[in-house]
Structure 1
Amino acid sequence: MGQEIVFPVLKTERLILRKITETDASSIYTYLSDPEVMKYYGLEPFQSVQDALAEISWYESIFKEQTGIRWGISLKDSDRIIGSCGFLNTVSSHYRTDIGFEVSKEYWGQGIGSEAIMAIIHYAFEHMNIQRIQALIEPPNIASQKMVEKAGFLREGLLRKYEYACGKFDDLYMYGLLKEDYKL
């Protein structure tokens, strides 16, 4: 019987990044049902709390399978989840993972996303045996491009019609951040 892996809790100046549980479903539904938040998410806006519970179940499965990890973002003075960030498609044999993130619209423009992704980037390079973190971002999603560029990612190219989501093919920019280029 394998030893259960403890979910890491990360703290920043303003945030606590923690495991998302079923009790967070209504908070997650609130922002993942917002068409503006979901515009570049690759899924249709959530229609019910059941959709949020399915998302939470997926977060649990990627952690258990060690193919990813997703943290809930909360402000230090509140336990309410206002966004999430983490890694998916982790390929340990290639020391590589993809980063993903979203924040509730009411917190846009406050640096919450940047603060959260800097914490998880540091965690990945220090504790996950990762050499490369990738970000796949739709060309119109300027805010996310600026956020990853601020974190040190370099745009490496355009992947044409790379993803089929919400009834259409999407081009995606490939961004990469290498451990040796990251200033810990």
Structure 2
Amino acid sequence: MTEHLIIQTNRLQLRPVREADLSIIHELLSIPAVDMYNALGIPTNKAVTQVYLDEWIDNFRLRKEFVFALCTLDTNDFVGLISIRIGNSKYKIGSLWYKLLPDFWSKGYATEAVIKLLQFGFLQLHLHRIEAGCAVDNIGSIRVLEKSGMIREGHKRKVLPLKTGWSDNYEYAMLEEDWEKKRAN
């Protein structure tokens, strides 16, 4: 698996992030609505975004984290980012996150991308478990994770340091066997 890995859904292409994406990634990360439930925070300038981008590119090469740019198949418009980070190899666990431009919210793109990343995680990376979390007030992400077939397993109290204060977090996961059952139906 190389940095040339391309994954497609019905409407999206998931391709590894690259240096040329700096401006569009910085724009995405700088939108207050995108940052609302994000503990990362808005980057103060492009140099900060460059540090994130360099780390994502290095981690992809090292197979530690796979950060993909989401682009529409028909027009190649940038939609957002999606990632699966690989934990300790003994446990075969991945954790996923995603961020989309607001123009693409509530149109099924995030769900489509999450389902494809779950497939990638279980079938290509041979993970046993894939996890995701979201702030309890992030109704959009709750819907995406549940429509994707992930199961809410927990509720952590005041774990996310958001701009609005400490937020509770819902913990979601899917096991390899859950994925197999989903595929069988």
TM-score (norm 2): 0.89
| 1:141 equivalent among 122, 138, 141 | 138
Of 101, 112, 115, the match for 1:115? 112
Correspondence 1:39 to 2:18: no
Deviation at 1:48, TM superposition (A): 2.5
User: Contact conserved, 2:85 with 2:96, CA < 8 A, in 1?
Assistant: yes
1:29-60: CA deviation from partner (whole Å, max 9, x where unpaired): 22211000111121222332223222211212
The alignment's TM-score, normalised by the length of structure 1, stands at: 0.89
Amino acid at match of 2:43: F
Which residues of structure 1 form unaligned runs of 5+?
Answer: none
SS of equivalent residue, structure 2 residue 173: strand
3-state SS, counterpart of residue 51 of structure 2:
helix
Correspondent of 1:73 among 70, 73, 90: 70
Give 1:6's aligned residue. Answer: 2
On the 8 A contact 2:64/2:85 being kept in 1, the answer is yes
Q: What's the CA shift for 1:181?
A: 1.0
Identify the residue that residue 150 of structure 2 maps to in structure 1. 153
Structure 1 stretch 62-71 or stretch 118-127: which is displaced more? Answer: 62-71
What's the % identity of the aligned pairs? 25
User: Which consecutive residues of structure 2, in runs of 5 or more, have no partner in the other structure?
Assistant: none
- Structure-1 separation of matches of 2:6 and 2:125: 14
Q: Residues 56 and 79 (structure 1 numbering): CA distance in 2 closer, same or farther, change over 3 Å?
A: farther
Residue 175 of structure 1: how far off its partner (Å): 0.7
- Match of 2:90, SS state, is helix
Match of 1:22 among 10, 19, 23: 19
For 1:51 and 1:176, the matched residues in 2 are separated by 30
Aligned residue pairs, count: 180
**Secondary structure, counterpart of 2:37 in structure 1:** coil
* RMSD (Å), alpha carbons: 1.8
